[in-house]
A = this chain, B = another copy of it.
Amino acid sequence: MTAPSEELRIVEAFLFASPQPVSEEEIAGRLPEGTDIKALLVELAEHYQGRGVEPVKTAERWSFRTAADMAPKLKIRLKQSRRMSRAALETLAIIAYHQPVTRAEIEEIRGVSLSKGTLDLLLEIGWIRPSGRRKVPGKPLQWRTSDGFLEHFGLDRVDDLPGKEEMKAAGLLDRRPDLPPIGLLKDHLGADAAADGEEGDDEGAEGLDEEA
């Protein structure tokens, strides 16, 4: 094994010491001008291949993480992970794959109205963020996933979502009008639809099971 270059050592120490993942620009700021950052990161990744920790890129930023297969050995299980309701999970997936997406679109895709607590929950965890308003009547808020979401699931970019390419290819991410007559019928039944929304709220409240 050859001795690591001074530049590589700096990248290594910087990724390691920084409390937050760091961008390639931030790394470049620590090194002589003109240093090939990408090559250094490749070299670093090669060095850590097969080891207990490794450099990973999430949300366009680099940090060290324990290797995925170490999970069972490291599991401390100090805190039980939150259990998410199916509604919350599906809503997260819809936002992730279809972003930016409005509340109405989420409801249309799931075919059921969205309880209030669902978006709140995802917002509280820090996995989604509001992202501008759709330029249609009513200017509804649009939602996107956050960097925290990418970091949590170990994704570099939204395009790296599992199966995203296939979904796109199949046209499933296209925007399409709701089943036309259903929309019309719904308008006729406005009052009942509201009652249904209430039921949804109840369900949302149990979205986050707090298990000790």
Contact = CB atoms under 8 A, between A and B. Distances in A.
A10 interface: yes
A8 interface: yes
Nearest to A6: B73
Copies of this protein in the complex: 2
B70 A10 contact: yes
Contacts of A4: 50-52
Interface string A32-61: 000000000000000000111100000000
A17 B54 CA distance: 12
Interface residues on A, range: 20 to 34
Interface string A56-92: 0000000010110010011000000000000000000
A52 B3 contact: no
A14 to B, nearest CB: 6
Nearest to A14: B74
Interface of A: 1, 3-4, 8-14, 16-17, 30, 50-53, 64, 66-67, 70, 73-74
23 contacts: A1-B1, A3-B50, A4-B52, A9-B52, A9-B67, A9-B70, A10-B52, A11-B52, A12-B52, A12-B53, A13-B52, A13-B53, A13-B67, A13-B73, A13-B74, A14-B52, A14-B73, A16-B52, A16-B64, A17-B66, A17-B70, A17-B74, A30-B73
Q: Which 10 A-B pairs have the closest CB atoms?
A: A12-B52, A13-B52, A9-B52, A13-B70, A13-B66, A16-B53, A1-B1, A10-B73, A17-B66, A3-B50
